[in-house]
Amino acid sequence: MRTQLKKMMASGDLFVWASGAGLAVALMMVVGLLLLITVNGMGFFWTGDIVELTLMDGTRVMGQAAGREIIPNSVTPDSPKGKGRVRAKIGNRDLYGLDFKWVDEDTIASQSFPPNAVLLERREWGNFYGWIKAIHRGETPHAEGSDIGWNALLPLVDQANDVHARIYRIERIEIGEINAEIEQARLQIRAVEMNTPKGQTPHGPTLDRLKTAIAAAEARYSEKTDQIEKLNAQFNEYAVVMVDANGQEKQLPVGQIIRALRPNEMGTPAKTWMYLTNVWRVLADEPREANTEGGIFPAIFGTVMIVLIMSAAVVPFGVLAALYLREYAKQGIVVRLVRIAVNNLAGVPSIVFGVFGLGFFVYAVGGTIDTLFFPEALPSPTFGTGGILWASLTLALLTVPVVIVATEEGLAAVPRDYREASLGLGATKFETIWRVVLPSAVPAILTGLILAMARAAGEVAPLMLTGVVKLAPTLPVDTTWPFFHFDRKFMHLGFHIYDVGFQSPNVEAAKPMVYVTTLVLILVVVLLNLSAITLRNRLRRKYAGAAV
Amino acid sequence: MHTSTDSTPGLLRIAVTRSEGPSPAGAVKDLKATIILSDVNFFYGDAQALFKVNIEVPRNQVTAFIGPSGCGKSTLLRCLNRLNDLIEGARIEGKILLDGMDIYGPQVDATDLRKRVGMVFQKSNPFPKPIYDNVAYGPRLQGMRNRAALDAIVEESLKDAGLWDEVKDRLHQSALGLSGGQQQRLCIARALAVKPEVLLMDEPCSALDPIATAKIEELFFTLKKDLTIVIVTHNMQQAARVSDHTGFFLMGELVEFSDTKTVFTTPRDRRTEDYVTGRFG
C-alpha cells in the first residue's frame, strides 16, 4: 500500500490529474459565463407571443412571458414542488407605471393567446399591449374596429417613420451644419473683438461679412424649423385609440409608434425575420429612453474608435521605448530599474490612470491648447474637457507597458545571425534595426498590441474621468469640417453596461439590454483581436523561421 | 609524419621544392599581401584571445586558418571586418592594414570597411525575405534603386555563387525555403553583391553535407580570381583541398603560417605536425 502510494506520487499522475482538473474548472467558468451572456443576450431579440391571463378575481393581465420562478418558502409537505409564479412584461408604462408584473400561478383561472392582440413599439413609454379600437384623423374617425384598424394602421406607421427620418435628417444634419456655421462665425467675431484694442469698437469688412453670414444662416435656420413644425403636424395628424386587457382606453398619436406587431399571428419564418431585424436595429440604431430602448450604435462606434486611436498611439510609443531599452541603452542598473518600473506600471489600478489623464491631458494639455488656439471660445472649453482623444491617450498610457514588454521580447528573439549578416554587408546599426530586426519583431509587436487592445476595450474606469458620457448627441466622426472631432465626448459599451444596468430609471426593463450590450462588447473585442491575429499570422508566415 | 599523409603523395614531392627559409610565424613574402596583421593582441574583457599574431594575407589567394576549437581563429577573422566591435568589453591591440590602410584607424568607418570585407557565417543566415531581396540587400543599402541595375547585380551575384540556375524561377519566394547548401550559397551571393575585395568565411561548410560542401569548395577556385578569401575551417581536408596558404592556431597563438603544402607535409613546428596528423585536437 505504501509503496503503491509512493509510486503514484513519484509518477506524477496526481499532479497531472490536478492540473487537468484546474484547467477544466477554468474552462467551465469561461464557457459558463459566455453561455449565460449569449443565451440571455440572444433571447432579447425574440418576439414572444402575447399571452392573456384571466385571474380568479376577473381581472386580466396581458403581456409577453418573461420568466417563471418558485415562490420562496412555498415548499411545504403538501406541495413538495412548491408553488410557481410567472412574470409577464405588461408594458403600458404610462397606464400602470410598471413594465413587469408577477402573477401567482394559483390565481390564474385561464390563459389564452388572442390572435388580434397588438404590440406597439413606441418612441416613449416602452411597449404597449392591447387591441386597436379605432383610428382618428384629428376629430374625425378614420377606421373602426380591430382588424380594419390594424390594416389602416400599418401604412400610417410606415408614413410616420418616413416623416421621423426626415425630421431626424433636418435636425441632426442640416440644422447641425447651420449651427456649426453660426458657431464658427460667432467665434471669428469674438476673435476680431479680442484683437481690437481696448476702448475702440471693433469694425471692418470682416466683421460685416461675418455678421451677414450669421444673419443668412439664421434665416436658413428658421426655414428649417418651419419645415420641422410642418412635419410634426403631419406626424400627429392621426391617432390610434387602444384598449388594454381590462378595457382601459388610451389614445396614442401614430407618430409615437415605431412598429406595430401582432406576434400571435406571426409564424416562425416571420418571427425569425423579426429577430434579424431586431438584431440589426440594436446594432445600427441610437438609444432611446435613457438608453433602455433602441440601439447601441454610438457605443459600438465609440468603443471601436477609442481602441483604434489608442492603437495608433500606443504602438509607436511602445516600440520606440522598447527599441531604445533593448538596442541602444547601455544595459545596467538604470535600464533594469526602468524595466521594473515599466512592468509595475501595468499593475497600477486603471482609475489612477484616469486621474492622471484628467489632470495631465484634459487640464494641462487640453487647457493649454485652449488658451493657445481656441481663446475665442473660452471660458467654454474645447480640448480642455474630456474627449475621445484624451480618453484614448489615457488608455494608451495604460497599455504601453504591455507593448514595451512584448516588443522587447520580440527584439531579443531576433537571431544574432540576422544582425551580424546585415552588419557584415555594411549596414549601420540603424539600418540593421530598421530593415532586419524590426520586421522580424513585427509579429511580437502585434502580440503586444493584441493584449493592449483586449485590455483597453474593457477599461471603463479611466474613461469615466476623461470623456465618456451616457448619451452623446453626435458621433466623433461626422460630415462637418474637420470630420474627425477628437474633442467630442463619446459613448462606450463598457460604460453603457454600467449606465443601463445600474443608472437607468427602469433597471428591470433594461436588464436584457445589459446582456445584449455585454455580448456586443465581447464580440467587438473578439473581432478586433481576430483581425489583429490574422494580420500577425500573415506576417509570421512571411517571416517564417523568425522566432516569436 | 610522412606515412601519415600518404594519401597525398603528390603533395609530398612538391613540398620538397618549398623555397622559403624559416622565419617567425612564416610570412609570405613573394606575393603582394592584401591584409597585413602586425602584433595583434585581442582581449575579451580580461581574457586574452589572441597573442601577437603576425600574418600577411596574400591577394587573390585562399588563406585558411585551422586549429582546435577556441584557438582564436574565428576571433581573428572577425577582427578583419571589425565585427568584434559589437562585443562589449572587447579590445584589440596592434595593427591590421587593408591595402595599407589601418582598419582600426580613427578615420575608418566600420560600415564602409565591411562593404570592402564581406563575410559568410558558419550557420547560413539568409534574411526572412525573398531570395531577390536577400541578394539586393547590400546594393540597396548603398542607395541603389534602379530596378535594371539591381536585377543585373542579383543575377551576376547568384551566378558567381553557382545558385542562379537553381533559383532563377523563384527569386521572389522566401529564402528560407531553400536547402541548407543553397542557403549558404545564397549568403555567399549576398556577400558578393556588395563587391567586396576580401571575403571572410567562418566555417562555411560545417553544417552542410558533402555534396553541398563540394559545390561551395568549387566556388573558391573561381572566386579567388577577383577576391582574396580567408576561410576558417575545422576540416583539415578542406583546408588542404581549397587553400593556397594555411595558418595553424593554438591557444590564441599563430603557431605556423605557410603555403598549404608545407603546413600539411613538412611543418616546421611539432605541434602543427601533431595536429595535422590527427595525433591531437
The pLDDT value given to residue B4: 40
- Both A436 and A312 in one domain: the answer is yes
B102 three-class SS: strand
Q: How many domains does chain A have?
A: 3
pLDDT interval class at B151 (50, 70, 90):
very high
- A339 and A422 part of one domain: yes
Q: Does the structure show a pLDDT above 70 at B11? A: no
**Confidence band of A400 (pLDDT split at 50, 70, 90):** very high
A332 has a chain B CB within 8 A of its CB: no
Q: Do A417 and B123 touch (CB under 8 A)?
A: yes
Residue B29, pLDDT > 70, answer no
- Per-residue confidence (pLDDT) for residue A547, from 0 to 100: 38
Cα gap A418→A432, rounded to integer Å = 9
- Give domain status of residue A99, yes or no: yes
Q: What percent of chain A has pLDDT over 90?
A: 23
User: Per the domain annotation, does A379 fall within a domain?
Assistant: yes
B154 close contact with A: CB closer than 8 A: no
Pick the residue from chain A with its C-alpha nearest to B128.
A543
Residue A504 lies in a domain: no
Beta-carbon separation of B137 and A440 below 8 A:
no
- Are residue A222 and residue A96 in the same domain, yes or no? no
- B112 in A contact zone (CB under 8 Å): yes
| Lowest model confidence (mean pLDDT) among A78-82, A89-93, B8-12 | B8-12
* Same domain, residue pair A176 and A60: no
Are B96 and B104 in contact, with CB atoms under 8 Å apart?
Answer: yes
Contact A426 B174 (CB under 8 A): no
pLDDT(B22) > 60: no
Give the least confident one: A428-432, A476-480, B126-130, B200-204: A476-480
The residue among A441, A457, A492 that closes a domain is A492
Residue range A218-232, pLDDT digits in tens:
888 888 888 888 888
Beta strands B101-102; B117-120: pairing state: unpaired
Whole-angstrom distance, CA of residue A90 vs CA of residue A102: 10
What number of other Cβ atoms are within 10 A of residue A345's Cβ? 16
pLDDT of residue B86: 79
Within a domain: residue A4?
Answer: no
Indicate if the pLDDT at residue B13 is higher than 70.
no
Is any Cβ of chain A less than 8 angstroms from the Cβ of B86? yes
Q: For residues A98 and A192, state if they share a domain.
A: no
**What is the domain extent for residue A79?**
51-113
| Closest partner CB to B194 (pick from A425, A436, A543) | A425
Is the pLDDT at A544 greater than 70? The verdict is: no
pTM score of the predicted model: 0.80
Residues 6+ apart with CB under 8 A from B195: none
Last residue of a domain, one of A260, A289, A324: A260
Asked if the structure places residue A349 within a domain, the reply is yes
The mean pLDDT of chain B is 82
Tell me whether A508 touches chain B (CB under 8 Å): no
Give me the mean pLDDT over the B189-203 stretch. 90
Answer whether residue B24 shows pLDDT above 50.
no
Q: Is the pLDDT of residue A322 over 80?
A: yes
Cα gap B73→B232, rounded to integer Å: 7
CB contact under 8 A, B127 and A421: yes
Return the HEC string of B30-96: CCCEEEEEEEEEEEECCEEEEEEEEEEEECCCEEEEECCCCCCHHHHHHHHCCHHHHCCCEEEEEEE
Smallest CA–CA distance, residue A417 to chain B, in Å, is 6
Alpha helices (runs of H) in A12-145, residue ranges in sequence order: 13-43, 93-96
- Chosen for mutation from A425, A431, A432, A436 (greatest number of chain B CBs closer than 10 Å) is A425
* Pairwise CA distance, residues A64 & A43, whole Å: 13
Is A256 in the same domain as A340?
A: no
- Same structural domain for residues A249 and A384? no
Q: For an interface test with A, which of B85, B103, B111, B199 has the most A Cβ atoms less than 10 Å from its Cβ?
A: B111
* Nine-digit cell string for A292: 433602455
pLDDT at A306: 92
C-alpha cell read off for A76: 411545504
* Alpha-carbon gap: A437 to the closest alpha carbon of chain B (Å): 10
- CA A115/CA A55 separation, integer angstroms: 20
Could you report the predicted ipTM of this complex, rounded to two decimals?
0.81
Q: What CATH code is carried by the domain that includes residue A318?
A: 1.10.3720.10
> How high is the pLDDT of residue A543?
67
Same domain, residue pair A356 and A454: yes
Of A116 and A23, more confident: A23
Domain boundaries, chain B: 3-276
Q: Would the CB atoms of B125 and A543 count as touching at under 8 Å?
A: no
Burial class from Cβ neighbours inside 10 Å (0-12, 13-18, 19+) for residue A445 reads: buried
User: Does the distance separating the beta carbons of A426 and B194 come in below 8 Å?
Assistant: yes
CATH fold, domain B3-276, is Rossmann fold (3.40.50)
- Asked whether residue A535 is assigned to any structural domain, the reply reads no
From A69, A98, A113, the end of a domain falls on A113
* Max CA pair span of chain A: 106
| pLDDT band at residue A33 under the 50/70/90 scheme | very high
- Quote helix, strand, coil % in chain B, to nearest 5: 40, 25, 35
| Mean of the per-residue pLDDT values of chain A | 86
Residues of A in contact with B121 (CB under 8 A): 417, 420-421, 424
Residue A84 belongs to some domain of the structure: yes
Based on the domain organization, do A334 and A472 belong to the same domain?
yes
Instruction: Map A442-506 to HEC letters.
Output: HHHHHHHHHHHHHHHHHCCHHHHHHCECCCCCCCCECCCCCCECCCCCECCHHHHHHHHHHHCCC
> Both A463 and A319 in a single domain?
yes
Whether A488 is covered by a domain: the verdict is yes
Percent of chain A clearing pLDDT 70 (strictly above): 99
> Which of A339-348, A435-444, B17-26 comes out lowest in average pLDDT?
B17-26
Place of cell 381590462: A246
Lowest mean pLDDT among A300-314, A495-509, B235-249: A495-509
Task: Give mean pLDDT, residues A128-140.
Answer: 86
